[in-house]
Amino acid sequence: MGHLYMSNMTALQHHVAFFDRNKDGIIYPWETYQGFQAIGFNMTISLLAASFINMALSYATSHSSIPSPSFPIYVDNIQKGKHGSDSDVYDSEGGFVPAKFDAIFTKYACTYPDRLSYAEMQAMLKGNRDVNDTSGGYIAQHNFNS
């Protein structure tokens, strides 16, 4: 799978590739843990994030219908892990949608035009929440609060 990093990756694949520490196209829980450690999270948060993220995305991104007990996330299928109640900054194929990204700041960045405060981020998450999508809303909340 190393060829993935030499071909054209989608924006979403680039986004998650940071966690693929050995660049083989597969992100195992220990790589997610190492990635969270690398960006400054403590051991507990890194462990919880790795467990939750890999369990949530492994089957969705798998190349098999049989779940893997090692919970790998496949970078080439990461778009299949896209959840509801998200910002739609990435489309269903993993492409970046600049207009959706800009719209976040236009609509929610009241304090500073180039960033969101915690309260503004919470307002964005609430605004994106689909009332019929409990799990997607929870996942979106977790993504921004970890």
| HEC sequence for 36-75 | HHHCCCCHHHHHHHHHHHHHHHHHHHCCCCCCCCCCCEEH
In tens, the pLDDT along 41-54 reads 999 999 999 999 99
Total domain count for the chain? 2
Domain edge (last residue) among 58, 81, 104: 81
Q: Same domain, yes or no, for 72 and 12? A: yes
Q: Same domain, yes or no, for 56 and 11? A: yes
In tens, the pLDDT along 65-113 reads 999 999 999 999 999 988 776 788 888 888 899 999 999 999 999 999 9
pLDDT of 4 reads: 59
pTM for the predicted model, two decimal places: 0.76
Q: Which domain holds residue 95?
A: 85-146
* 135 contact partners, CB below 8 Å, separation of at least 6: 83, 84
In this prediction, residue 143 has a pLDDT band, given cuts at 50, 70 and 90, of low
Tokens of 114: 């180039």
Q: Same domain, yes or no, for 111 and 70? A: no
Phi-psi region of 115 (alpha: psi -120 to 50; beta: other; left: phi over 0): beta
Q: Same domain, yes or no, for 70 and 8? A: yes
Q: Same domain, yes or no, for 49 and 116? A: no
Q: Same domain, yes or no, for 35 and 105? A: no
Q: Same domain, yes or no, for 98 and 41? A: no
Phi-psi region of 56 (alpha: psi -120 to 50; beta: other; left: phi over 0): alpha
H or E segment to which residue 26 belongs: strand 26-27
Q: What one-character-per-residue DSSP string does 67-126 give?
A: PPTT--EEGGGGGGG--TTS--SB-TTS-B-HHHHHHHHHHH--SBTTB--HHHHHHHHH
CA distance 105 to 124: 9
DSSP 8-state symbol, 137: H
CA distance 144 to 63: 28
